[in-house]
Amino acid sequence: MAADNNRPIRFGIIGCAQIARKVSRAINLSPKSTLYAIASRSTEKAKQFAIKNNLSDTVKVYGTYDALLDDPMVEAVYMPLPTSLHLEWAVLAAKKKKHLILEKPTALIVDELDRIIEECEINGVQFMDGSMWYHHPRTAKVKELISDSKVFGQIRYIHSSSSFIGPPDFLETNLRVKPDLDAHGALGDAGWYCIGAILWAMNFQLPTTVTALPTLSRNSAGVILTCAASFNWQKEQTTATFYCSFLAHETMDLAISGSNGTIHIEDLIIPYEEASAPFRFTLGAKFVDLHIGWNVKPEEVNVGTELPQEVLMVSEFARLVKGINDLGWKPDGKWPAISRGTQLVMDAINKSIGLGFEPVYM
């Protein structure tokens, strides 16, 4: 029987975290997917999530995660659970043949992520983490520019930051500051983006060394609230730094300096607007005579998109799932590889912190 190319992929959501509101909207906005079921630790909590987000009455509501995973109609799962629960439930989802979008950070350590990826590979299901910015067309446009060595030159320095100050009770009650739920704190939540952006700029080549910087702050439970690190690529002679924090004003920056040009993005993780995203670049800049100014000004480019980046993420994932389920494709190994590289570097930063901010060779 021929595959129905127009049938949307049926998604389930396991966990009613705040980010699940955004992704449930994205699933329903994507022409390639539909929200089929949600699950929480209680039926009442799942029902309240459905009401709060105006979900259709046709969406199934489950009071346990197992019940959703046992539903044969669910083809793919989005899982925004606390990091400490990822290993158990992601492995079970893969065993149940559910394709998986796993919220970041993907695991507590890379060994756990390897177990999740291995189970996905064994069961032939697609894995992807929930980093949305990779899927915005701006990302491809900037990659095209920095990849042209004749125009941009060789990448010499990269800096990224991700920071915010949460609501008044954030530092006391949010799961991201609880060691038994999300032990990586700001490093896992905000730093994941910074690490990913830097590796993306370097075509996901791991650095030679990773060194945590003494700009480190923890809460009384030992969870990281502020963190910074530097990376070095010895052969390429490239350096990168990042800063992440729950204690600083909102930033989502990425700056890339090449031998012939520079690029700046101020809203990498969440664009200022859904319909377009800007970046600024300068090529061939020099000081004018007497060093009283520059010969060029940065040029701003706005990259439009018909769908928000989270919808594009869901759509790409659904496209891959459709190919695997209906056309016999193999899962795309690019996405688990990206997650694994990010996890490896995050682990190295934690190791460097434990060594008193000494370099860790990758």
Cβ-Cβ contacts under 8 Å for 152 (sequence gap 6 or more): 145, 146, 258, 259, 260, 261, 263, 283
**pLDDT (0 to 100) of residue 3:** 54
Cα–Cα distance for residue pair 82/63, rounded to 1 Å? 17
Please provide the average confidence, as pLDDT, over all residues in the chain: 97
Q: What is the pLDDT of residues 132-171, one digit of tens each?
A: 999 999 999 999 999 999 999 999 999 999 999 988 899 9
Work out the number of other CB atoms within 10 angstroms of the CB of residue 284.
Answer: 10
**pLDDT (0 to 100) of residue 6:** 83
Is residue 193 within 8 A of residue 162, CB to CB? The reply is: yes
Q: What is the pLDDT of residues 224-280, one digit of tens each?
A: 999 999 999 999 999 999 999 999 999 999 999 999 999 999 999 999 999 999 999
Report residue 11 CA to chain centroid gap: 19
In this predicted structure, the answer to whether residue 108 has a pLDDT above a threshold of 80 is yes
In this predicted structure, the answer to whether residue 27 has a pLDDT above a threshold of 80 is yes
Cα–Cα distance for residue pair 58/160, rounded to 1 Å? 42
Report residue 315's pLDDT band, with 50, 70 and 90 as the boundaries: very high
Report residue 220's pLDDT band, with 50, 70 and 90 as the boundaries: very high
Q: What is the pLDDT of residues 284-293, one digit of tens each?
A: 999 999 999 9
Cα–Cα distance for residue pair 322/32, rounded to 1 Å? 9
Across the range 181-201, mean pLDDT stands at 97
Cα–Cα distance for residue pair 253/272, rounded to 1 Å? 12
Name the helix (H) or strand (E) containing 23: helix 18-29
In this predicted structure, the answer to whether residue 40 has a pLDDT above a threshold of 60 is yes
In this predicted structure, the answer to whether residue 359 has a pLDDT above a threshold of 70 is yes
Report residue 4's pLDDT band, with 50, 70 and 90 as the boundaries: low
Distances (CA, A) of 265 to 48, 55, 56, 77, 160: 37, 34, 37, 31, 9
The SS3 of residue 304 is strand
Cβ-Cβ contacts under 8 Å for 95 (sequence gap 6 or more): 119, 123
Rg of the chain over Cα atoms, rounded to whole angstroms, equals: 21
**pLDDT (0 to 100) of residue 201:** 98
Q: Calculate what percentage of the chain has a pLDDT beyond 70.
A: 99
Cβ-Cβ contacts under 8 Å for 244 (sequence gap 6 or more): 161, 162, 163, 186, 187, 189, 190, 191, 193, 194, 226, 227, 228
The position carrying tokens 């697609």 is: 126
Cα–Cα distance for residue pair 218/249, rounded to 1 Å? 17
Q: What are the residue numbers of the active site?
A: 104
Which of 110, 30, 42, 139 is CA-nearest to residue 78?
30
**pLDDT (0 to 100) of residue 5:** 72
**pLDDT (0 to 100) of residue 1:** 38
In this predicted structure, the answer to whether residue 93 has a pLDDT above a threshold of 70 is yes
Across the range 74-96, mean pLDDT stands at 98
The SS3 of residue 26 is helix
Cα–Cα distance for residue pair 220/195, rounded to 1 Å? 25
